[in-house]
Amino acid sequence: MLLSVDHVTRYFYDQPVRGVVQSHRLMPSQCAGQKLVTWKVSVSDGQMGGGFRDGAGDWVQGWTVLGPVNEITVRVTGQIETVDMAGVLRGHKELTPPEAYLRSTHPTEADAALAALADGLTPAQDALAAAHDISARVSDAIVYTSDTTNAHTTAAEALAQGTGVCQDQAHAVIAIARHIGLPARYVSGYLLVGVDGAAAEAAHAWAEVFISGLGWVGFDPANRCCPDDRYIRLGSGLDSPHAAMIRGIARGQGEESLDVSVTVQASQTQSQTQQ
Amino acid sequence: MTSYFNEMYQGSAVRAPYARLQDWMTAMPAELRQMKQAEAEALFRRIGITFAVYGEGGDPDRLIPFDMFPRVFSGAEWAKLDRGIKQRARALNAFLVDVYGRGEIVRAGRIPGRLVYLNEAYEKSVVGFVPPKGVYSHIVGIDLVRTGPDEFFVLEDNCRTPSGVSYMLENREIMMRMFPDLFRENRIEPVDSYPEILRRTLASVAPAKCDRDPTVVILTPGHFNSAYYEHSFLADLMGVELVEGQDLFVEGEFVFMRTTEGPRRVDVIYRRLDDAYIDPLCFRPDSMLGIPGLMDVYRSGGVSICSAPGAGVADDKAVYTYVPEMIRFYLGEEPILKNVPTWQCGKEDDCKYVLSNLKDLVVKEVHGSGGYGMLVGPKASADQVEMFRARITANPHNYIAQPTLALSTTPTFVAEGVAPRHVDLRPYCLVGERIELVPGGLTRVALTEGSLVVNSSQGGGVKDTWVLAE
């Protein structure tokens, strides 16, 4: 499928700031099923800094903006050809050993309730089936509901209240998978939001679980499926903060506010915009 | 009753390296000694070398007690230590490059992957990066103890930012000022080239994008840090700027320092700041001490950071057990210096042994340092032993245990005259384009009679450390 992306992030400062430093994970992963046609990242008044491919295969790009500025716009535009790989990450060069993704972090800490969701799973016999079960159980236990959680909500908190968004569901899958010894990680990317009313936004997140013999396999509890050709994979990390598309810090006193819009469209015929 | 090796005596005979100190000691009347001791203290105060002790409160400007009785190694003794220390520093660096690369040592089954990759000090953000000259740890502080004429053990490795080298330099300076005759009568190898070698070492690991004479700086957390004196002392001696995070900023592909003449590009940062604090964009977002964006510049070859972020995974106390294996694996050599036998409480059998022998063992936290959170079984009260039993049982992976070593003693000035006190040694090995070791180090001495804990935070003192020229 040919997907077009337009992702605009605007930062506003109520007082001018002296400068801004950002670190981006905004380049689509180099893997089978993702072929770039065009791709461009721009930062208003920005100077491109150092860039490198990290151990997880992500392209990380530094940017700096010299102030004083009141407003910064980060814009990603591009077109990419995608193929349904049934969720399996193939042809992706990375060096970080899967074991490094067994380490738990604050948002992915498994409490007793998360651990209980792993009851009866037998990863030693069939890891893939166990991972599918985890994803399905999370979809049921944390019902996709907007505006009930925030960026700092942990998997345990989301499960306790029974609602959350893709970030919370992905954190929960990761927490449970690691709890039963399966390496798992957080993936950030884009999603073509279909006309079928799928519960998700165009800036999306899901989980990957490492299945011995198969490699990293994606699971999207928000849509009860594995990533297919509607998905664009950008970067990964131990949890949401580690996999963030944009990290930034402003020098100065100004209070920051944010406006994000992401549009993912399929080759002129289907389209969907999310504000 | 354990017997301890006294480095000065063999029976009643004086061992060769100490021959001239025997006369010096016996010729010194008590009044002169007290006068000199007061003089030494005044000198240390004037220089301003003090050491604040974490968690102890009290006077942050407390002096570490200085003992005037030097600790002496013969040239031959040192030659072996020199080879052993450099061997270890090479292996530790090879290990670091490996575990952030293909992890051959894990693939070969020579060290458990979990121990490395699940380690808190394993820095995922530097996987795939080979720092200039393949060096992660540029200053390797290796803590050694001696138990016999030819018996040395490595107690621990310090691959991040080992402190204390200013004491090595100041102790020597003060001894030379107070006892110039001693330095005429004995042929003692100098240590004062350390700052210049350190500067050269740091400059030799300038990043790929540096195309000129590299600018080196020392990054300090600030004057509240207990080792701030050392940071400013070394900056001074090396002739480089001492900076705090707020003095540096990232612009484009490089790091710059604010100066009165405008921004100046920085090529090598000798940081005395933990990984977690150096870049709030990459690590702890609440850190006010670091430089936002530093890691992106670092990983794209715009600046070098010494020690390299992630170096800590090599000096973890559980990883320590495998250093002899690293030496065999990477260098194809047999270890010259021995490890202390270590039980890992995370292993079921080891833990069982440790819990039933607590009275005879030294127990340490895997990530602890400075002598905190440590149990010295033979010296501990029954309550302390029970407290550790509970802690180990609750979190076995957090503890290792070692036999109580019979640390050597050297003569030390005490209230009653001269008496043996237990010592250890921390030499500072410098690794850059070349690998160099100044002949000497920091000797720490447990001033309390019978005590085996030499940490300055636990009442330890320091001595000048001599290596005699052959």
Q: CA-to-CA distance for B420 and B412, rounded, in angstroms?
A: 6
Convert the pLDDT of each residue in A112-121 to its tens digit.
Answer: 999 999 999 9
- Alpha-carbon distances of A89 from A44, A103, A174, B30, B239, rounded to whole Å: 33, 21, 17, 78, 52
Q: CA-to-CA distance for B307 and B439, rounded, in angstroms?
A: 22
**In b/e form, how buried is each residue of A218-249, taking b as 16+ CB within 10 angstroms?**
bbbbbbebbbbbbbbbbbbbbbbebbbbbbbb
Whether residue B162 has pLDDT greater than 50: yes
Q: CA-to-CA distance for A169 and A138, rounded, in angstroms?
A: 6
Top-tier CATH class for A2-81+245-274: mainly beta
Convert the pLDDT of each residue in B301-310 to its tens digit.
Answer: 999 999 999 9
Residue B333: pLDDT band with limits 50, 70, 90 = very high
Q: Residue A251: its chain B contacts at CB < 8 A?
A: 249, 292
- Alpha-carbon distances of B434 from B135, B329, B437, rounded to whole Å: 10, 21, 10
Question: In the predicted model, what is the mean pLDDT of residues A76-96?
Answer: 96
Convert the pLDDT of each residue in B272-292 to its tens digit.
Answer: 999 999 999 988 777 778 999
The pLDDT value recorded for residue B50 is 61
Q: CA-to-CA distance for B375 and B364, rounded, in angstroms?
A: 7
Question: In the predicted model, what is the mean pLDDT of residues B236-251?
Answer: 97
Which of A36-40, A218-222, B253-257, B364-368 is predicted least confidently? B364-368
Highest mean pLDDT among A237-246, B28-37, B414-423: A237-246
The pLDDT value recorded for residue B51 is 57
Convert the pLDDT of each residue in B337-375 to its tens digit.
Answer: 999 999 989 899 999 999 999 999 999 888 765 566 788
Whether residue B468 has pLDDT greater than 80: yes
Convert the pLDDT of each residue in B384-429 to its tens digit.
Answer: 999 999 999 999 988 999 998 899 999 999 988 899 999 999 999 9
Convert the pLDDT of each residue in B455-464 to its tens digit.
Answer: 776 778 999 9
Convert the pLDDT of each residue in B55-79 to its tens digit.
Answer: 444 455 567 889 999 999 999 999 9
Cis peptide before A241 (omega within 30 of 0): no
Q: CA-to-CA distance for A97 and A84, rounded, in angstroms?
A: 25
Best interface-test mutation with A: which of B116, B122, B124, B250 has the largest number of A CBs within 10 A?
B124
In one-letter notation, the amino acid at residue B180 is: P
The CATH number, out of the four listed (3.10.620.30, 3.40.190.10, 2.60.40.1170, 3.40.50.261), of the domain defined by the range A85-243: 3.10.620.30
Best interface-test mutation with B: which of A21, A58, A105, A178 has the largest number of B CBs within 10 A?
A21
For chain A, residues classed under CATH 3.10.620.30 are: 85-243
Which of A20-29, A83-92, B293-302, B412-421 is predicted least confidently? B412-421
The pLDDT value recorded for residue A185 is 98
Q: How far is C-alpha B21 from the chain's CA centre?
A: 28
Tell me whether B173 touches chain A (CB under 8 Å). Answer: no
Q: CA-to-CA distance for B206 and B132, rounded, in angstroms?
A: 7
Q: What angle do CA B320, B93, B367 make, to 5 degrees?
A: 35
Q: Residue A22: its chain B contacts at CB < 8 A?
A: 281, 293
In one-letter notation, the amino acid at residue B98 is: D
Q: CA-to-CA distance for A12 and A260, rounded, in angstroms?
A: 11
Best interface-test mutation with B: which of A22, A45, A52 has the largest number of B CBs within 10 A?
A52
* Closest listed residue to residue B268, CA positions, set B209, B223, B193, B315: B209
Helix axes A166-179, A127-141, angle to 10 degrees: 140
| Higher-pLDDT residue of B324, B120 | B324
| CA-derived radius of gyration, chain A | 18
| pLDDT, chain B, mean | 92
Q: The dihedral of CA B129, B134, B140, B144: what is its sign?
A: positive
Which CATH architecture group holds B342-403? 2-Layer Sandwich (3.30)
Which CATH architecture group holds B208-302? 3-Layer(aba) Sandwich (3.40)
Q: Is B39 exposed, middle or buried (0-12, 13-18, 19+ CB in 10 A)?
A: middle
The pLDDT value recorded for residue A197 is 47
Question: A256 - beta bridge partners?
Answer: A13
Question: In the predicted model, what is the mean pLDDT of residues B432-451?
Answer: 95
Asked if B293 lies within 8 A of A238 by C-beta distance, the reply is: no
Q: Where are the domains of chain B?
A: 9-193+315-335+406-467, 208-302, 342-403
The pLDDT value recorded for residue B417 is 87
State the residue for tokens 């020392």: B218
The secondary element (H helix, E strand) that includes residue B100 is none
Contact present, B247 and A43 (Cβ < 8 Å): no
Asked if B249 lies within 8 A of A19 by C-beta distance, the reply is: yes
Tell me whether B300 touches chain A (CB under 8 Å). Answer: yes
The pLDDT value recorded for residue B371 is 60
Q: Residue B300: its chain A contacts at CB < 8 A?
A: 49-52, 62
Tell me whether B106 touches chain A (CB under 8 Å). Answer: yes
